[in-house]
């Protein structure tokens, strides 16, 4: 077997492993949260991103302070989410758990450039607030150590707007997402880079 064939086989095996992990994680998350998603105004995307969609529950305008309703959601959601991710079938596969803060492009009385910067700061602070609260409600010392190695806060500003009929959906763009990045993705990129 040539080197190229070996690398192609390795990519295929990693891709299949990644797909199996993604599918099983989607199944486990969906089963765990099926009764809660509607109440939380949340959804699980096909890449296992959990999206909290209701800006009026999450934060006040231009604030990174968690609202009481979102605190109640996190109190219910995060321990259960962490229980799934720290299960032996996933824990060693996880490279990052990202809390992503997203905003709309709106920032009154500024240029688009300044709006981007202002919203970047706001989205980063919101992601940090969610991360800090989630970390602080984690009771297990082992889980805290795990989080210290994989838990990240990312402010996205309006770099990933949600659109409706080609137009920015201002309300839907203001959201918080929890994303899992697996080590399989990293390995695939390494192999692809070697092939180039």
Domain of residue 55, CATH code: 3.30.1330.60
Residue 66's CB is within 10 A of a number of other CB atoms, namely 21
Distance of CA 171 to the CA centre of its chain: 18
Q: Which residue has the tokens 């920015």?
A: 168
CA–CA–CA angle 67, 95, 134 (5° rounding): 20
**Alpha carbon 139 to chain centroid, angstroms:** 21
pLDDT digits (tens, 9 = 90+) for 7-43: 778 778 877 877 888 899 999 999 999 999 999 999 9
Task: Write down the mean pLDDT value for the chain.
Answer: 91
Q: What pLDDT is attached to residue 149?
A: 98
**42-100 pLDDT, tens digit each:** 999 999 999 999 988 999 989 999 999 999 999 999 999 999 999 999 999 999 999 99
Q: Supply the pLDDT for residue 196.
A: 64
Domain count, the chain: 1
Q: Is 121 a residue whose pLDDT tops 90?
A: yes
| Residue 146 reports pLDDT greater than 80 | yes
Domain that includes residue 58, residue range: 3-195
Higher pLDDT, 50 or 3: 50
The greatest distance separating any two alpha carbons of the chain, rounded to the nearest whole angstrom, comes to 63
Reported confidence tier of residue 188, pLDDT bands at 50, 70, 90: confident
DSSP output for 74-138 = HHHHHHHHHHHHTSHHHHTTEEEEEEEEE--S--TTS-HHHHHHHHHHHHHHHHHHHHHHHHHT-
Better pLDDT: 169 or 52 = 52
pLDDT tens digits, residue range 130-144? 999 999 999 999 999
Task: Judge contact between 99 and 178, C-beta under 8 A.
Answer: yes
Query: What is residue 72's predicted lDDT score, i.e. its pLDDT?
Result: 97
């Amino acid at each position: 077997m040539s080197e190229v064939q070996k690398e192609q086989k390795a990519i295929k095996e990693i891709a299949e492993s990644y797909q199996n992990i993604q599918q099983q994680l989607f199944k486990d998350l969906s089963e765990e949260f099926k009764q809660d998603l509607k109440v939380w105004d949340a959804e699980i995307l096909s890449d296992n991103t959990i999206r909290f969609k209701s800006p009026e529950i999450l934060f006040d305008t231009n604030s990174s302070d968690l609202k009481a309703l979102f605190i109640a959601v996190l109190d219910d959601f995060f321990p259960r989410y962490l229980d799934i991710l720290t299960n032996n079938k996933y824990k060693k596969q996880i490279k990052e758990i990202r809390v992503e803060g997203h905003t709309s492009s709106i920032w009154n009385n500024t240029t688009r450039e300044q709006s981007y910067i202002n919203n970047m700061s706001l989205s980063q602070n919101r992601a940090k607030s969610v991360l800090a609260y989630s970390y602080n409600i984690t009771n297990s010392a082992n889980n805290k150590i795990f989080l210290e190695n994989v838990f990240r806060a990312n402010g996205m500003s309006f770099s990933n707007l949600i659109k409706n009929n080609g137009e920015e959906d201002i309300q839907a763009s203001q959201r918080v997402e929890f994303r899992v990045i697996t080590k399989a993705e990293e390995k695939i990129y390494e192999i692809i880079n070697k092939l180039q």
